[in-house]
Chains A and B, each alone.
Chain A
Amino acid sequence: MSTDTKQIIADALLKNEQAMYGPFFGSLGVTSAMAFAAAGSAYGTAKAGTGIASMAVARPDLVMKAIIPVVMAGIVAIYGLVVAVIVSGKVEPAGANYTINNAFSQFAGGLVCGLCGLGAGYAIGIAGDAGVRALSQQPRMFVGMILILIFAEVLGLYGMIVALILGAT
């Protein structure tokens, strides 16, 4: 193989490594982190909200406790927001310090945070709905409900940690 051919292959490799579609995947990571986390949070808020609405008819004094599933669903959206803001600060035009490796790991980070948030939001919604309904009849259910909600919310936190590790590389 002549040095000319080698040079051509090396150039082609470099060009593919710094492909111009790199920022597309980075931006897609930003979008998926925010959009999926917001979707999960919205479902959790709506599902827990119906439960709060029906239990508050009988026990309006418990509303401070009953609103906690909604707050936790909101925190899941904050995870998505944090990852989206961090990743969006690192998306740049393709070049020597922004290769497709960076872009794909940002895409993966956004996706893992978003989908973990989606799952956590679903879990918070369903467990919160049942929890606040039970709370109106048995106030001692509060600690149990909080524990279930914390375990559901930690799933979103795991996603955020992995996303931060992926996005930081």
Chain B
Amino acid sequence: MTTSSSSEPSTMATLFPNFRDQEVQSAVKNLLTYSLVILIVPLASMFLLKQFFFEGLLGVSANDALTYSAIIAVVLVHVVLGIWLFAATKQEDRKKRENKQD
């Protein structure tokens, strides 16, 4: 699967040497997705929940709303971490099974 026919390597190829490799591609995609999710989820949930859910819908005072949304944000971060762990172990299991079938 040597698709890099051009003489000069593209920037993507220098960043990831086997970028066209299926396994490398899925690993990079997974890593990128989960990294973005774990960065964005706590911050977004904290401020959006405070603004629109607790203050907007339930009418809680600003300080209490901040505390509640902070607790929910911390819980959500651990949920994402749990999903990350699950994905990491599942990936390994799948690889093992494929190796057995060969």
Listed in ascending order, the chain A residues whose CB lies under 8 Å from chain B are: 60-61, 63-65, 67-68, 71-72, 74-75, 78-79, 82, 85-86, 89-90, 139, 142, 146, 157, 160, 164, 168
Contacts and interface: CB of A to CB of B under 8 A. Distances in A.
A48 to B, nearest CB: 15
Contacts of B71: 164
A156 B59 CA distance: 31
Question: Could you tell me the dominant secondary structure of chain B's interface residues?
Answer: helix
A89 B73 contact: no
A50 to B, nearest CB: 19
A64 B74 contact: no
Contact of B27 (A61, A86, A89, A90): A61
Given A61-B27, A71-B81, A164-B71, 13 more contacts: A64-B87, A65-B92, A68-B81, A68-B85, A74-B38, A74-B39, A78-B42, A85-B70, A86-B63, A86-B70, A89-B62, A89-B63, A157-B74
A157 B77 CA distance: 12
Contact of B67 (A63, A64, A71, A168): A168
B89 interface: yes
Interface in B66-86: 66-67, 70-71, 73-74, 77-78, 81, 84-85
Nearest to B16: A60
A90 B70 CA distance: 14
Interface residues on B, range: 20 to 34
A85 B66 contact: yes
A78 B66 contact: no
B47 to A, nearest CB: 9
A63 B31 contact: yes
B49 interface: no
A138 to B, nearest CB: 13
A68 B89 contact: no
The 6 closest A-B pairs by CB, nearest first: A82-B70, A65-B88, A64-B88, A86-B66, A78-B42, A89-B66
A142 B89 contact: yes
Given A64-B27, A64-B30, A78 B74 contact: yes
A78 B39 CA distance: 10
Interface string B3-37: 00000000000000000000110010011001000
Given A64-B30, A89-B63, A164-B67, A75 B46 contact: no
